[in-house]
Chain A
Amino acid sequence: MSDGKKKVPYGFYIIWVLSLAGILIISTVFLYLGLSNLKEITGESFLNIIMGIAGLGIAAKVGYDMFKARISLKEEAFEVLTELLCVICGEKILREFKEGDYVGKVSEDVCPKCQSSPSIVAIYSRTPKGKEKRY
């Protein structure tokens, strides 16, 4: 039902991954240069180390953002349920919502116990903790 949402922009991902790799490589090079010259602390090696650490930090942030985006692109769990009650024998039935259901309606469903028609007593959505509802 949310076809519009499933379109994953692949180009965007490629750019993301490439930039992540680029930042990682550059920052490791900087870090290596800085650390290999560590015997005599000059401004340059100090600068290299700072650049390397900053680069790694940026890479971590970009990677984290990507991870988060991937999570939010996953299908969201949801369900809308219709609760039926048989007036004759008191049997409760829970099933998925169907178009045309409304609270108070005598449903076309058949009571599994006494074969009479139950009425709809409630319609609600149930969303697992931490998930978003879809309707």
Chain B
Amino acid sequence: MREGPISLMQLGQSDWLSWIFFIMFIMMMQFYASRLQAQIWISEISRALSKLEEYSNDSARKFVEEASKYGRSQDEIRTMFEKVRGFFLIEPVTLDPYGAIKRMEHLLNVMRSHLNATMMEIAPKADGWKRSNLRDQMAGALTLDMIYRIIRHYFILGRKTQNLIYIAQIQMLLPEIMRIAKAYWKAGDAFRLGIPIGDGIGPLVALRLIGNAEPSEIAENILGAEVEIEGRKVMVVKAKGPGSEVGRPGLAIERLVEGREGKVSLIVTIDAASKLEGEPTAEIAEGIGAAIGDPGPEKYKIEEVATKYGIPLHAIVIKEDHLDAITSMGEEIARSADEVIKRVKAIIGSKTMPGDFVIVAGIGNTMGVGNKMGGA
């Protein structure tokens, strides 16, 4: 008789206790949820960071390994590489925009010759072709190093301050950052082996148009060859291959037009352009203007000289993911060259008369793409 109420009371007590624990647990979760979230994100960033470090170190190691085949020891190259790490270009002031393009052009020229001189020291025995590939392989490794440093900066800042904003920002950008980093990491191998990259579709089309014609140098690392297309004299311009080179197409077009005192009927530029998500790779689009993705000076020169003489500017772009542009050229992009050539011919046929002079420029990195068919 006495046991009944007691056992009931005991049961009620343990029931109460578990409810109290449960509610306390929920409250604690509420209280610590943001802390916990921050911790989860921090560990995610930390994992990504070690992956980034791996990418960065791996591409630097591969660069040193590859460069050491051309006259210097790995230790010497490593020291020189450490010196170039953190290399930067300070963009010119645009507060007073007068001459900003000229100043930018000057800075880019200085940077190019500086990097080339550095490569000369790092790989004295490499030929020009290999040296430019090495230079851009190094540029990829430097970019990865930069990405790693920036992410590390925000990671340490976020961990130090426990500021959810810092952490959340990085965590949300992480998938895209990792995608870019991976592309740069893969690009290293393409540059090491000299495989054409997606950006090379412009020069590839130019090479197809040049065929067996004999090219000659027009401007720094830019070649041109005159061919006949449907009765028009067409000067086809591309960067000097097969090393990793974009050259100065703007300067070349300016010289060509000035050399003919403006007697040019049409300028067509062909370049890879970044596609929107959802658009098919290697989709071809036509438009007006200069299709060229340089920091400014080259595009400026083309627009300037075309405006001066009233030459129509037509553009053909081949759409691709901006990460495809720096890694090996995909089959569908390479195959699109035939269709681009058809489009070029159609534009020339409809916009000019037989006997006219036309400039067609294949813009982009010419790595792995030669200068004429069946020859160098």
Contact = CB atoms under 8 A, between A and B. Distances in A.
The answer to whether A and B come from one shared complex is yes
Interface string A119-135: 10111111100000111
A47 B204 CA distance: 68
Given A102-B241, A106-B374, A122-B334, A44 B328 contact: no
Which of B22, B57, B372 counts the most chain A CB atoms within 10 A? B22
A133 B330 contact: yes
Interface string B311-354: 00000000000000001111101110100000000000000000
Interface of B: 11, 14-15, 18-19, 22, 54, 57-58, 186-187, 189-190, 193-196, 204, 207, 241-242, 327-331, 333-335, 337, 368-376
Contacts of B54: 4
Given A102-B369, A105-B242, A105-B370, A123 B15 contact: no
Contact of B189 (A1, A103, A119): A1
A79 B331 CA distance: 11
A119 B373 contact: yes
B136 to A, nearest CB: 14
Contact of B18 (A43, A104, A134): A43
Contacts of A103: 196, 204, 207, 242, 368-370
Contacts of A123: 195-196, 329, 334, 368
Contacts of B15: 42-44
A77 interface: no
A104 B328 contact: no
Interface stretch (A13-21, A24-32, A93-101): A93-101
A87 interface: yes
Interface of A: 1-2, 4, 42-44, 47, 80-81, 87, 97, 99-106, 119, 121-127, 133-135
Contacts of A134: 186, 189
18 contacts: A4-B58, A80-B195, A99-B193, A100-B194, A102-B194, A102-B242, A103-B242, A104-B370, A105-B370, A106-B374, A106-B375, A121-B373, A123-B196, A123-B329, A124-B328, A124-B335, A135-B186, A135-B187
Contacts of B57: 4
Contacts of A126: 330-331
B370 to A, nearest CB: 3
B246 to A, nearest CB: 16
Contacts of B186: 133-135
A104 B369 contact: yes
Contacts of A2: 58
Nearest to A51: B22
Given A119-B374, A124-B334, A135-B187, 20 more contacts: A44-B15, A44-B18, A47-B22, A80-B193, A100-B194, A101-B368, A102-B241, A103-B207, A103-B370, A104-B369, A106-B374, A119-B373, A124-B196, A124-B328, A124-B331, A125-B328, A127-B330, A133-B186, A135-B193, A135-B327
A77 B333 CA distance: 19
Contacts of B328: 80, 124-125, 133, 135
Which of B18, B187, B328, B375 counts the most chain A CB atoms within 10 A? B328
A127 B376 CA distance: 29
Contacts of A47: 18, 22
A87 B369 CA distance: 18
Contacts of A127: 330
B207 A104 contact: yes
B351 to A, nearest CB: 28
A133 to B, nearest CB: 6
Nearest to B12: A42
B331 to A, nearest CB: 4
A104 B194 contact: no
A101 B367 CA distance: 10
Contact of B330 (A43, A102, A125): A125
Contact of B373 (A43, A44, A101, A104): A104
Contact of B190 (A44, A104, A105, A135): A135
